[in-house]
Amino acid sequence: MRIAIISDIHGNLVALKAALSDIKKRKADRIVCLGDVAATGPQPIEVIEHLRKMRCLCVMGNTDETLAKGLPSKFAHAGISEEDRERLEALDLWTRKKLTKSHRRYLSTFKPMLKVYFGPDQSLVCFHGSPSSNRDEIRSTTSNEELARRLEGHKANVFVSGHTHIQMFRRFLSSLVINPGSIGLPFRIESSGRIRNSSTAEYAVVNSSDGALSVEFVSVPYSLSELRRAVRNSGMPDPDWWLSDWY
């Protein structure tokens, strides 16, 4: 059995379609989405409707939760300029205005956590941040003590988290802990510290065969010109600013 794990689409339908095309070629039996599907991207409605049509299993990310409740997101990140914060707030408002009650109801059906079974003795526990909070971050640098606290009370062969937008593979006791990366906003940090996004859709495949589990990380390139066209046709505020971080 092969399960494709996608996460952090952030309203990028161009990237999502590229990933789904690749997933189809790899003949995955199931797709699980770890949330943050619509916020801060050019195609929030299109992504929501595409996932709904697929009947994709979805975990609720932090931005899914705020959009489902019709609440504004907070952009008080360290190092963010006041100008960028205002632009992100304008983009968030634009997204919230586009969502209908039907879209918010759909987002509200996302689960805080999903457990998926390969068989009686093999399982995945899937969440956005941690089992207790979709705002937690699990990174390669998270200490084992902190990781133990965040996973306390849960057992699985593989724990799968999103939220950080960075692919990760680590062992924890007898389990694996992975992050598939981001479909729509895969971060790349330059030597200067500037964060940029590459036109690649990242995801992971967990495969169970003859009682053994394996994990494959995938990065699918797609057309940057197609993304630019989608952004400029979307009506989103400050499209050139949004695109300035892409290559």
C-alpha 6/C-alpha 201 separation (Å) is 9
Number of domains in the chain: 1
CA 11 to chain centroid: 10
Tell me whether strands 30-33 and 158-160 are parallel, antiparallel or unpaired: unpaired
Q: What is the pLDDT of residue 143?
A: 97
Which two tokens mark 141? 């640098």
Residue among 179, 180, 170 at smallest CA distance from 144 = 170
Give the model's pLDDT for residue 206: 97
How many C-beta atoms lie closer than 10 Å to residue 11's C-beta?
29
CA pair distance 180, 194, nearest whole angstrom:
22
Q: pTM for the whole thing?
A: 0.96
* Residue 86: how many other CB atoms lie within 10 Å: 12
**pLDDT at residue number 119:** 81
Structure tokens at 140: 């390669």
Q: If we measure between CA atoms, which residue out of 45, 19, 24, 21 comes closest to residue 34?
A: 19
Q: Provide the 8-state DSSP code for 59.
A: B
At CA 112, angle to CA 121 and CA 172, rounded to 5?
A: 45
Which residues of the chain fall short of a pLDDT of 50? none
- Residue for token pair 């759909």: 106
Q: What is the DSSP letter of 60?
A: P
CATH number at residue 144: 3.60.21.10
Strand, helix or coil for residue 242: helix
Q: Which domain holds residue 232?
A: 2-243
Question: What is the model's pLDDT at position 78?
Answer: 57
